[in-house]
Structure 1
């Protein structure tokens, strides 16, 4: 049986729940609601397991806070015996327009502290990451306020459709593989 670790990045706590930086948590919560499963608190994060056509998806929302995400990722990769190529990390991306999605198999952390920590703990830049665009419509020097800010009205209206597309991407990654998924979803 194939096993996958799907990690949604975010920060724990009510004050972060609706922030742009928590899109990884939001995608996994949307998936769980759609498929009717629940997360439970375990070591270093909230976890859930879901079966999809003979494959096991292990979902993780790290409780280590964004900047220390690598600790939870490496712990659960090892514990669940998931190969690196079956890891998918979902994160926000300032360099993409709101709602656009991009799947990559490697690359830099792009200044994202969560990815920076994962990269350091895995000791490689080769791992799958699903970047969800949050745009960069903030004033100079206001980046932290922007990513930790809540979605505006227009974004909130468009979010459900984008979350739906995100769930489709995750299912495609698991069933069709990373290359087919990149061809089907990148830029959509």
Structure 2
């Protein structure tokens, strides 16, 4: 496979009933990336829905993958995509929701533990603890005593939905910045306070 290929996996749960959940914000970011590349998702033998395109004219190839499995079983489909395209985890970007980051903020990192995120935990297990890059999309903590498991499986609030398109666009911009400018430069851009 060409050296200038990246796999971007957006975490979430399959099915229309989950599409608007906070847990599915990673897949929402992939929808934005696919739209920018005029690419469509289709079935793939890796147990993902896959869309392929290029970043800009003649730019790097992006393989966007949405696992057909539930969030907690994201590792198998992610590892299968890497194997299918003969790529190492250093060419993998995983986009996912993050409770420990305030809503409407993006944080980028490579490597590290799962931080309690079961989708990341499963990918780490399936890839042997690989150092892949993560675009962590902040969804904030649940209000009051609402269990986190219930909070992530609910749709964004009405107030959040007003800002959500910007957050999704920021997530897509972050993926593009990692690929074109490198992780350190992208971190400087997205970890700085918003103007």
- Normalised by the shorter chain, which TM-score bucket? over 0.9
* Further displaced range: 123-132 or 69-78: 123-132
Out of 92, 96, 109, the residue aligned to residue 101 of structure 2 is: 96
Structure 2 unmatched ranges of 5 or more: none
What does residue 128 of structure 1 align with? 133
CA contact (8 A) 2:67 2:77 kept: yes
CA contact (8 A) 1:108 1:125 kept: no
Q: Give TM-score scaled by structure 1 length.
A: 0.95
What does residue 157 of structure 1 align with? 162
Q: Give TM-score scaled by structure 2 length.
A: 0.91
Q: Residue deviations 1:91-119, cap 9 Å, x none?
A: 10000100110010111111111000001
Q: Residue deviations 1:56-110, cap 9 Å, x none?
A: 1100000011011000111110110122111100010000100110010111111
CA contact (8 A) 2:102 2:140 kept: yes
CA contact (8 A) 2:38 2:53 kept: no
Aligned residues: CA RMSD: 1.4
Distance in 2, matches of 1:32 and 1:169, equals 14
Offset, 1:36: 2.1
Distance in 1, matches of 2:131 and 2:48, equals 23
What does residue 74 of structure 1 align with? 79
Matched, 1:6 2:8: yes
What does residue 48 of structure 1 align with? 51
